[in-house]
Structure 1
Amino acid sequence: MNKFKLALLTTALAASSMAMAQDKAPLIKQFIDLQRPGIESLARGLVEQSSAPIAQAGSAYLQTQVPADKREAAAKAADAELKKYFDESYPIVRDKAVALAPDALGPLMDQSFTADELKQLVAWISSPLSKKYQELNPKMQTALTEKLVAETRSTIEPKMKTLDENVAKALGAPVGGAAPAASRPAPPAKAPAKK
């Protein structure tokens, strides 16, 4: 009789665990869906961050190498290239972030929260759970960022190269790493030959 009770208890626990896992999946999906604005914001930040060095270098070049009377037109042309890059790249990164979020965040959520905790998260009740979520949030962002960068690198890097070249052209800067003639240092003068 004891073996029968043990088998029945084991079966009940296994069924209960399976039911809890199934109960968590829709809650995790709902939570990730609610987090979409944050995921999109992360993607926006990555795209903006990727072009920031080019924008900064362009701005520095504009102020030091472009004649004052041509700066406004050059700045507008460079801004148009930066906007074009953002408009092309952001949807790619955003859509990939949204697609990767369930696989990147789901396992962390599943391992870290119970079904009841997920219900509280979805309802966003103020509780000690909020602190736990805040502690996990950086890991989730890191997991998504790593996957997102890996998945979009081959598409975005050529766009960055094109952006770099187009901004340089818009500013009248040399393309391909060549320094402008005016900013190249003069070759050192040769000493007269000794007699």
Structure 2
Amino acid sequence: MMMNHRTRLAALVLAGFALTGAAQAQSSQAKKDLIARVIQLQQPSIEQIGQNIAGQTAQQVLQVAGQAVSQLPADKQEAVGKSVQADIKQFYDELAPLLRDRATKLAPTAMGSLLDEKMSEDELKQLVAWLESPAAKKFNEVGPQMLNNLQEKLVADTKPTVEPKLRALEDSLRKKLGINGAAAPAPAASGAAKPAAKAPVKK
């Protein structure tokens, strides 16, 4: 039996929906592949995030421990200080790979969902092309050096202003807490404000 006009039209519409759905599914997979590629190309930066957090955490512990060591008798400070530094270095050496690994595992969800939401497939193609270009690779190599250079210059430039404020705050806190003795070097003078990548607990 031949189909009437309405039946043929309905069949064509359904076929069109089926083809559109298949195309969307294919595009969705292609987009997922592009997102995965973007995240893969960002792997060094992702690992650096975990390492920076580990370095910053260890540096904070080192600062607190250093202040405590400075309150010890002079003849014990060196030995205890070395022991404390060794313990904190071990802490960092265990924490850094853990955070790097967790950052890598969390990246597809934390970053991938935003890339999927905010960027189209065409934009992702352009992004991948840029990230794979020699210019982008060179920029990624220079980027951390630029930031470190800016941070070092910022610390040096603001040291005359910041250091007296830190010392005044430290003296005030010592008086309130009833702690005697000379103030320990302020963080800005000791280099505590340097990038985490240069923390003394690292190899």
Q: Which runs of 4+ in 1 moved over 3 A?
A: none
Indicate whether 1:61 and 2:93 are aligned: no
The amino acid across from 1:80 in the alignment is: A
> Secondary structure of 1:110's partner?
helix
2:53 pairs with one of 31, 46, 56? 46
> Which residue of the partner structure matches residue 117 of structure 1?
123
Q: Percent identity?
A: 35
Matched, 1:88 2:89: no
User: Residue deviations 1:19-71, cap 9 Å, x none?
Assistant: 111101221111111111111111112222333332221111222x1233433
CA distance, structure 1, for counterparts of residue 127 and residue 85 of structure 2: 41
Which letter does structure 2 place at the counterpart of 1:99?
K
Provide the rounded CA distance (Å) in 1 between the counterparts of 2:117 and 2:25.
14
Task: Answer yes or no: is 1:33 the counterpart of 2:40.
Answer: yes
Q: Which segments of 5 or more consecutive residues in structure 2 lack a partner in the other structure?
A: 1-7, 132-177, 181-203
Return the alpha-carbon distance in structure 2 between the equivalents of residues 122 and 73 of structure 1: 52
Partner SS for 1:124: helix
In 2, Cα distance between equivalents of 1:95 and 1:10? 43
- CA RMSD in angstroms comes to 2.6
What's the counterpart of residue 97 of structure 1? 103
Unaligned runs of 5+ in 1: 126-181, 185-195
Displacement after TM superposition at 1:97 (Å): 1.4
**Structure 1 residue 119: deviation in Å?**
1.4
- Provide the C-alpha distance between the structure 2 equivalents of 1:55 and 1:33, rounded to a whole number of angstroms: 34
**Counterparts of 1:1-195 in structure 2 under 5 Å?**
1-63=8-70, 65-124=71-130
> What are the superposed Cα offsets for residues 63-105 of structure 1, whole Å, 9 maximum, x if unpaired?
2x12334333322221111110011111111112112211222
Q: TM-score, normalised by structure 2?
A: 0.56
* Offset, 1:183: 5.9
Partners of 2:69 and 2:130 lie apart in 1 by 48
Amino acid in structure 2 at the alignment position of 1:33: Q
TM-score, normalisation: structure 1: 0.58
Query: Structure 1 counterpart of 2:101, which letter?
Result: D
Q: Distance in 1 between matches of 2:32 and 2:20?
A: 19
